């Protein structure tokens, strides 16, 4: 079985299987802009995408950056700055101070409610319609893929707008819980309701993880978008794809842990690159 606990992991190229074979893979790191500032997409990548039977996509915080969703740490301003991430996002923190943790997630929910999906989210909806088979895996909890129209999204780290009971683990909706208390109380057992988010030290949902690994194993093209690739086990998904000879593409304005191993690297914001990629595919 996989290591399912969410842990920050900085894997080095040395730790990974050398799946591409030194000297065999042709590395194409694109600066992506021509002299007229037009976005350039390698034709060989468009060929791969058009021919692909199954495209698997992994997204991270970067895909929501252009919507203005602050990262966990960026949201820690004002009175929240005094807390460490584990004081706000761990089972121990919730047991110690459920009100504090509930209020932190209330604040983050309000931030996300004020923003909209961006062109990158929307391009992935179009890509799903073009590809014969398509799997979208996300580490994001903001629900913006779903709001853009993506379906069957595999959420690895939970969702900000879902809840369950801390005591009996039953899913709870805002219509069901008893109002008044913070956090609200479970209608089944009276326990504290918690966000359905995977906290530090908790296991990822086993079924979702299994689906994510399977989709990474069987795809022809794997897109890693807006993720730094430092949090396991999501960080190992592109390597699962590489081991099975898929074309692995990184879309990110900055270098990441995956850059060295990716087949193609597209440098730039997802909200610009993804629509351009989909437009090129449609022109074929």
Using CB under 6 A, list all residues that contact ligand APR: 60-62, 65-66, 71-72, 139, 157, 226-228, 230-231, 251-254, 256, 269-271
Least distance to ligand APR from the beta carbon of 279, Å?
17
Least distance to ligand APR from the beta carbon of 2, Å?
17
Select 176 or 267, whichever has its Cβ closest to ligand APR.
Answer: 267
Asked if 130 and 282 count as a contact pair (C-beta separation under 8 A), the reply is yes
Asked if 266 and 249 count as a contact pair (C-beta separation under 8 A), the reply is yes
Q: Please state, in angstroms and rounded to a whole number, the distance separating the CA atoms of residues 218 and 202.
A: 27
Least distance to ligand APR from the beta carbon of 157, Å?
5
Q: For tokens 């890509």, name the residue.
A: 127
Q: What are phi and psi of 171, to 5 degrees?
A: -60, 140
Q: 197 pairs with which residues across the strands?
A: 158
Least distance to ligand APR from the beta carbon of 271, Å?
6
Please, what is the end-to-end C-alpha distance for the chain in angstroms?
Answer: 41
Torsion of CA 152, 154, 155, 161, to 10 degrees: 10
Least distance to ligand APR from the beta carbon of 123, Å?
12
Select 133 or 208, whichever has its Cβ closest to ligand APR.
Answer: 208
Which of 54, 145, 157, 245 is catalytic? The answer is 157
Select 143 or 226, whichever has its Cβ closest to ligand APR.
Answer: 226
Asked if 160 and 139 count as a contact pair (C-beta separation under 8 A), the reply is no
Select 66 or 261, whichever has its Cβ closest to ligand APR.
Answer: 66
Least distance to ligand APR from the beta carbon of 236, Å?
13
**Which of these, 69, 77, 242, lies nearest to 140 by C-alpha position?**
69
Select 186 or 278, whichever has its Cβ closest to ligand APR.
Answer: 278
**Which of these, 111, 124, 126, 127, lies nearest to 67 by C-alpha position?**
111
Q: What are phi and psi of 169, to 5 degrees?
A: 70, 5
Q: Which two tokens stand for residue 223?
A: 């897109």
Active site residue 157: yes
Q: Where are the beta strands (DSSP E) in 139-181?
A: 154-155, 158-165, 171-172
Catalytic residue numbers read 157
């Amino acid at each position: 079985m996989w290591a399912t606990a969410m842990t920050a992991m900085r894997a080095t190229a040395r730790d990974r299987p050398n799946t591409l074979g030194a000297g065999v893979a042709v590395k194409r790191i694109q600066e992506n802009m021509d002299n007229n500032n037009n976005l350039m997409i390698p034709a060989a990548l468009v060929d791969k995408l058009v021919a692909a039977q199954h495209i698997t996509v992994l997204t991270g915080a970067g895909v929501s950056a252009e919507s203005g969703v602050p990262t966990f740490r960026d949201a820690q301003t004002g009175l929240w700055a005094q807390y460490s991430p584990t004081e706000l996002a761990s089972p121990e923190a919730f047991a110690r101070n459920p009100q504090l943790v509930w209020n932190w997630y209330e604040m983050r929910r309000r931030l996300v409610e004020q923003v909209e999906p961006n062109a990158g989210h929307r391009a992935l909806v179009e890509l799903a319609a073009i590809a014969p088979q398509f799997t979208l895996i996300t580490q994001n909890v903001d629900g913006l893929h779903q709001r853009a129209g993506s379906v069957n999204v595999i959420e690895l780290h939970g969702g900000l707008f879902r809840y369950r009971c801390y005591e009996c683990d039953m899913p709870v909706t805002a219509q069901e819980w008893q109002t008044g208390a913070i956090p609200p109380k479970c209608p089944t057992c009276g326990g504290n309701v918690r966000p359905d988010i995977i906290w530090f030290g908790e296991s990822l949902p086993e079924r979702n993880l299994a689906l994510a690994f399977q989709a990474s194993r069987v795809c022809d093209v794997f897109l890693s978008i807006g993720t730094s690739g430092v949090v396991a086990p999501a960080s190992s998904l592109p390597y699962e794809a590489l081991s099975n000879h898929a074309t692995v593409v990184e879309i990110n304005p900055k270098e990441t842990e995956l850059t060295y191993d990716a087949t193609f690297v597209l440098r730039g914001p997802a909200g610009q690159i993804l629509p351009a990629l989909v437009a090129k595919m449609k022109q074929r």
